[in-house]
């Protein structure tokens, strides 16, 4: 869709890469779909969107909102005041920016912003990445005009007449690349004659996966495999120290990997958490994967995400509590099983939705009066 009429769209949410990168992908698709879109992001002060969104070239304003802690803390006592303060600030942002549509991608900031937008009569659209809807999106669904989801059978959480199954938007580089293995291995200075394992734990890292890798370095070294290991910034130093006595040509440690297209391209098998964004990327990269769902998420939604693949013979799963014992044996077994790798790759590709961002952008523009 192309239009000469100036349109203004607010995109709100964040907290983790699983919310932020889909939001940026939607913004990029809006820019490509319409030649006259003005975009503003609204995030939570102190969260990673306040850094990642400007790096992607977009303006962002922060709200003083934070989530509830699982145990009674002083921060929880302040929560109602932060919500009220954030709603008032959201109203001020809406009054100044005058958006035609407000989009929520989940995370703390989308609650106050979309609540204020709906109250002001501004059409709202929410995007749910997971197979188990988040609390904020469930709360916002009543007043949303459209709800874009990644998984079927979401009418348990949302009004069925509002649901559109679009899949999750992902970074454009993963869509554009042909995942050339030789080029990818060359980038990471890895050998072409050794199998390669890519380990990713989400944007903040994954403690269980990292601890399991540290305990299994000798096993991996003896298996004569190569490892590209993204630890997350909180775990990077300890993981780097653990690998000090091993060849960096076989086991590479990174706090963050920017060229994820090349990381997927180099990988024969991927170890990953089961966040919605990671799964969407794996589907498009069509990589055999061993998923280790995080138990530290609401309603155990990562296990539900993983099982959606496992039930389609599109991935393997190892429980977080069993990772230390089973993760590396399962991964090495899969690495040596060409038939199983091929089966998983074929089936996971069927679940990919490469046009998700474009479809969501079109649904957003349809809401403009």
In a domain, 1, yes or no: no
In a domain, 264, yes or no: yes
252 annotated as a binding-site residue: no
Neighbours of 203 (CB within 10 A): 22
Looking up tokens 């490509």 gives: 32
In a domain, 24, yes or no: yes
Please give the pLDDT value at position 203. Answer: 63
Q: Are residues 149 and 190 in the same domain?
A: no
Please give the pLDDT value at position 75. Answer: 61
- CATH number of residue 178's parent domain: 3.40.50.2000
Q: Are residues 343 and 273 in the same domain?
A: yes
Q: Are residues 267 and 336 in the same domain?
A: yes
Please give the pLDDT value at position 68. Answer: 55
- pLDDT tens-digit map of 256-273: 898 889 999 999 999 999
* Angle, in degrees to the nearest 10, between helices 74-97 and 110-119: 50
Whole-number Å distance between alpha carbons of 45 and 27: 20
Beta pairing partners, 291: 272, 317
Regarding predicted confidence, which is higher, 18 or 346? 346
186 annotated as a binding-site residue: no
Q: Are residues 19 and 152 in the same domain?
A: yes
Overall average pLDDT of the 45-61 stretch: 94
Q: Are residues 275 and 155 in the same domain?
A: no
Tell me the residue range of the domain where 322 lies. Answer: 173-350
Q: Return all residues near 92 (Cβ < 8 A) that are at least 6 apart.
A: none
Please give the pLDDT value at position 4. Answer: 59
18 annotated as a binding-site residue: yes
Q: Structure tokens of 169?
A: 């938007």
Does the global pTM surpass 0.85? no
Please give the pLDDT value at position 130. Answer: 87
Q: Which range, of 213-222, 296-305, 356-365, averages the lowest pLDDT? A: 296-305
The tally of domains found in the chain comes to 2
In a domain, 2, yes or no: no
* 183-188, long-range: CB < 8 A, 24+ apart: 183/262, 183/265, 184/261, 184/262, 184/263, 184/264, 184/265, 184/266, 185/266, 187/259, 187/262, 187/266, 188/228, 188/252, 188/262, 188/263, 188/266
Residue 369 pLDDT > 80, yes or no? no
Whole-number Å distance between alpha carbons of 178 and 170: 15
Q: Are residues 137 and 258 in the same domain?
A: no
Regarding predicted confidence, which is higher, 249 or 286? 286
203 annotated as a binding-site residue: yes
- pLDDT tens-digit map of 126-148: 999 888 888 889 999 999 999 99
Q: What percent of the chain has pLDDT above 70?
A: 92
241 annotated as a binding-site residue: no
Among 2, 67, 79, 68, which Cα is nearest to 34's? 2
Q: Are residues 107 and 197 in the same domain?
A: no
Q: Are residues 104 and 238 in the same domain?
A: no
Q: Are residues 220 and 130 in the same domain?
A: no
Please give the pLDDT value at position 69. Answer: 53
15 annotated as a binding-site residue: no
Overall average pLDDT of the 323-335 stretch: 98
- pLDDT tens-digit map of 62-120: 998 876 555 556 565 566 677 788 999 999 999 999 999 999 998 888 999 999 999 99
130 annotated as a binding-site residue: yes
């Amino acid at each position: 869709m192309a239009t000469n009429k100036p349109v203004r769209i607010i995109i709100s949410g964040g907290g983790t890469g699983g919310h932020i990168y889909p939001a940026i992908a939607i913004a990029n698709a809006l820019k490509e779909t319409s030649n006259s879109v003005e975009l503003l992001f609204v995030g939570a002060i102190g969260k990673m969107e306040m850094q990642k969104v400007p790096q992607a070239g977009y303006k962002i304003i922060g709200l003083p909102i934070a989530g509830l802690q699982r145990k009674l803390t002083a921060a929880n006592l302040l929560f109602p005041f932060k919500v009220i303060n954030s709603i008032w600030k959201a109203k001020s942002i809406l009054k100044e920016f005058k958006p035609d549509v407000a989009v929520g991608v989940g995370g703390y900031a989308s609650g106050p912003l979309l609540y204020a937008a709906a109250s002001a009569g501004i059409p709202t659209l929410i995007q749910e990445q997971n197979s188990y809807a988040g609390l904020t999106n469930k709360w916002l669904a009543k007043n949303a005009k459209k709800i874009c989801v990644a998984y079927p059978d979401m009418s348990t959480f949302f009004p069925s007449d509002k649901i559109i199954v679009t899949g999750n938007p992902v970074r454009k580089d993963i869509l554009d690349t042909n995942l050339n293995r030789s080029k990818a291995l060359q980038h990471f200075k890895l050998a072409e004659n050794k199998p390669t394992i890519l380990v990713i734990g989400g944007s903040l890292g994954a403690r269980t996966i990292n601890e399991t890798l540290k305990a299994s370095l000798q096993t991996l070294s003896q298996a004569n495999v190569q490892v590209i290991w993204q630890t997350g910034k909180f775990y990077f130093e300890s993981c780097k120290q653990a690998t000090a006595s091993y060849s960096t040509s076989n086991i590479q440690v990174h706090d963050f990997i920017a060229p994820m297209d090349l990381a997927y391209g180099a990988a024969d098998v991927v170890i990953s958490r089961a966040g919605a964004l990671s799964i969407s990327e794996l589907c498009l990269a069509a990589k055999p994967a061993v998923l280790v769902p995080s138990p530290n998420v609401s309603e155990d939604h990562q296990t539900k995400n993983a099982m959606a693949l496992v039930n389609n013979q599109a991935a393997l799963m190892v429980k977080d509590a069993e990772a230390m014992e089973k993760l590396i044996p399962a991964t090495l077994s899969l690495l040596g099983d060409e038939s199983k790798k091929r089966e998983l790759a074929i089936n996971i590709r069927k679940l990919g939705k490469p046009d998700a961002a474009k479809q969501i952008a079109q649904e957003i523009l349809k809401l403009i009066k």
